[in-house]
Chains A and B, each alone.
Chain A
Amino acid sequence: MRRSVFLASLLVVTGMGLGGIVREPKSFVASAQEKAASTAEVKIDNFVFGPAAITVPTGTTVTWINRDDIPHTVVSTEKIFKSKVLDTDEKFSYTFTKAGEYPYFCSIHPKMTGKVVVQ
């Protein structure tokens, strides 16, 4: 009797453990997908932000990378974020935690404009 109770308990514990192992990779996959979805990139090249308008979910970190030969900046029109001068291949990131529209421009070349739409 004791032996069968012990075996049953062992089976239950083993089963729970296996379940945990099987389930755990799924949660890793889910969090990895969430992480992949929470970043976006805007390239600066030939005096253009590309894409000029980008729509992202709340919590997304947008990274601007300067692929131009000329220094540029990324400055929010509403003064929410502001990068330093980005030389070639330098990056600037900002995490958008609130929904809304965030227009921005390059303060060295004010004709260069872009927009981040956070939903």
Chain B
Amino acid sequence: MNPFDIKAALLAKHAQHVVLIHFPIALFIAGVVFDFLAQKTRKRGLAGAAYYNLLGAAIFAVPAVATGILAWQFQLEGQKLKGILLMHLVLGSTSTILVWVAWGLHVGAERQVPERLPIFRLGLEAVAVAILGLTAHLGGFLSGVNGPS
């Protein structure tokens, strides 16, 4: 396939989810790292970096989830999932909700004067990273990254 053939890339079987999913994962992990550093150093620049990375993760999670659900509906005709596929769906949905909740906490704090972020968000973000990592591990397993090329 020609990598610059947009039509072929967009219509490729099931390719979009495995491509798009990297964006929210990377942005969220980066956002959480910046948030932890901002908490420790009290630097506003790091807090801003955390905010915008989490915003990016929350935005990119929408197409990532949508393409995953579309792949399930079109490639597997929406059949009842079980095993690794079901686990991937459940963990993926849970981590998406946690990404949105984490971003929501930052938006809520932004609107307060003075800005006050709840400390429990760090625990929530850590749990979200762990679940996201597990979802990604299962996704990689399903996509066959360990299989023969």
Chain A residues in the interface with B (C-beta under 8 A): 46-48, 70-71, 73, 82, 84-85, 87, 107-112
Q: How far is the CA of A2 from the CA of B77 in the complex (A)?
A: 78
- With known contacts A71-B83, A87-B82, A47–B13 Cβ distance under 8 A: no
Q: Which of A46, A48, A82, A108 contacts B142 (CB 8 A)?
A: A108
Chain B residues with CB under 8 Å of A110's CB are 12-14
With CB as the reference atom, state the residue of chain A lying closest to B81. Answer: A85
The 0/1 profile, CB within 8 Å of A marked 1, for residues 45-76 of chain B is 00000000000000000000000000000011
Asked if B79 and A87 make an inter-chain contact with CB atoms under 8 angstroms apart, the answer reads no
Q: Is the beta-carbon distance between B81 and A109 smaller than 8 angstroms?
A: no
Q: Which residues of B contact A73 (CB under 8 A)?
A: 75-76
6 tightest Cβ-Cβ pairs between the two chains A and B = A47-B147, A110-B13, A107-B75, A109-B144, A47-B144, A87-B83
**Smallest CB gap from A73: residue in B:** B76
Cross-chain contact A109 with B147 (CB below 8 angstroms): yes
Q: Which chain A residue shows the least CB distance to B76?
A: A85
Alpha-carbon distance A61/B88, docked complex (angstroms): 33
Residue of A nearest to B143 (CB): A109
User: Could you pull out 11 A-B pairs where Cβ atoms are within 8 angstroms?
Assistant: A47-B148, A70-B84, A71-B142, A73-B75, A73-B76, A84-B79, A85-B81, A85-B82, A107-B76, A108-B75, A109-B147
